Chain A
Amino acid sequence: MDKRILGEIEEEVRVHPHYADLQHLLALALMAGGEMERAESHFLEALHLNPRYREALINLGFLNIETGRWKEAEEIFLAEAKKHPRDGFLQHVLGILCLKTGRVKEGSARIHRAIRYHSYYRDYYKKKGVWKRGKVHLDQKAERTFKKIRFTYPYAQLYNLIGLYLAKKGKVTRAIKELRMASGLEPDDFIFHANLGTVYYYQGSYPKAIRQFQKALKIHPSYGMGYANLSYVYGLMRHTSEALRYMKRAVQINPQYADLHYNLALLYSDRKRYQEAAAELKKALRINPNYLFARINLGVLYEDQKRWKEARREYREVLQVTPNDEHVRNRLERISSLRRR
């Protein structure tokens, strides 16, 4: 753990002690540095500030595993598994916990559930030689391996959060280094690839951003914002047909996001597909009737199609909200004079 970053986070926590996210981040950083007692107190503080902070609770569970407090760890994961009984990850952690504490039969049942609830664990245990012909086979060698296993998840999450923290401060190169560590530790977690892709996009490294978004989407094909981000990157590369394809997919997955309809409308409008653009703008306005830009764009689209009456209606609505908008006023005056001619 970079001491300079740790110092920066400590300072942020000092300034904003009531931010649960910062308390959680500091706890993870301290945990990575081996300061388990201090880490525990900050996890607890994060949970005190936000009792529904699931990540903080789970990471507190991992801290208990790291410090050999199996019972406390198990209590946390059992309570979570009760709330989310079909969460393969929780069953996997509980399975390993059972093996660490010598309860092979129970561990085997948990692993079986993890495989049933999440296909990722089928491949994981298959690779480890534990899942064979539809059954869990735990020989002594496998038991020994799992007893020694260390969970990398909280550390990957730390790298991820540090990466995001640095990116927010504009330190993109250092952010990328941290996010690469996160996705290296947990290559099957889509969010680490997605975040790395986003930071590459901010940096302007578009081919790298595309690769990371595609990795994220391979793991989690219904991650709508991944398609939207791919669309933005392709848009900047002026690959409009790809940009359009991915934005359509993003809208399909998240039809309730007005902003995505707006962006899809811009893509259609740029390609002079005015009817489709107008339909998307109307959808955006149905979701958010105060979406002023969508209304201006709609007015301009009507104007392009010489539908003066509809264009005037939209511009007038805009001017009711922002009467000082000279740009819209000029457009309205121009089409009104055209009508008079």
Chain B
Amino acid sequence: MLKEDFAIQSELRRMLVRTSINYSRMDFGTVKGVVYIRGFFQISSIAPDTDEDRLKDLTAKTLYSFEKKVRNIPGVSDVIFQLLNWRKERGQWVPIEVVKKEEEDEGKTESNG
């Protein structure tokens, strides 16, 4: 497979616009077929009354679908997410604040025990 980084980068740009992702706080780059995505991941056009759990669920689903789409771009060999607000753990997308809180809670439980 030809790894034309410029074509991957152009396709990624096109793809981002066509999704419900607010990409204004994200950067992306391509290095020999490896796509890098950094910054804050947010979805756009959310109704103001959407509750927090629903928003997290929607964002996680959008991340799965986005990752799949990026991996399907011809020439892409890997995708590296360096997001400030979400990370993948054991195949699951989790918001970083939640992870921190859970870690704190676990720490408390352990010290209590």
Contact = CB atoms under 8 A, between A and B. Distances in A.
* A, B co-complexed: yes
B78 A236 contact: no
B13 interface: yes
A266 B30 contact: yes
B58 interface: no
A95 to B, nearest CB: 40
B48 A15 contact: yes
Residue with the greatest number of chain B CB neighbours at <10 A, chosen from A262, A267, A270, A322: A270
Name the interface size band of chain A.
20 to 34
Interface in B19-36: 19-20, 27-32, 34, 36
Nearest to B37: A293
A214 interface: no
Given A325-B80, A327-B80, A292 B38 contact: yes
Chain B binding site: helix, strand, loop or mixed by DSSP? mixed
A183 interface: no
B7 A235 contact: yes
A257 to B, nearest CB: 14
A201 interface: yes
Interface string B1-15: 000111101110110
3 smallest A-B Cβ distances: which pairs? A293-B29, A266-B6, A232-B10
Interface of B: 4-7, 9-11, 13-14, 17-20, 27-32, 34, 36, 38, 44-45, 48, 78, 80, 82
Interface of A: 15, 167-170, 172, 201-202, 204, 232-233, 235-236, 238, 240, 243, 262-263, 266-267, 269-270, 292-294, 296-297, 300, 322, 324-327
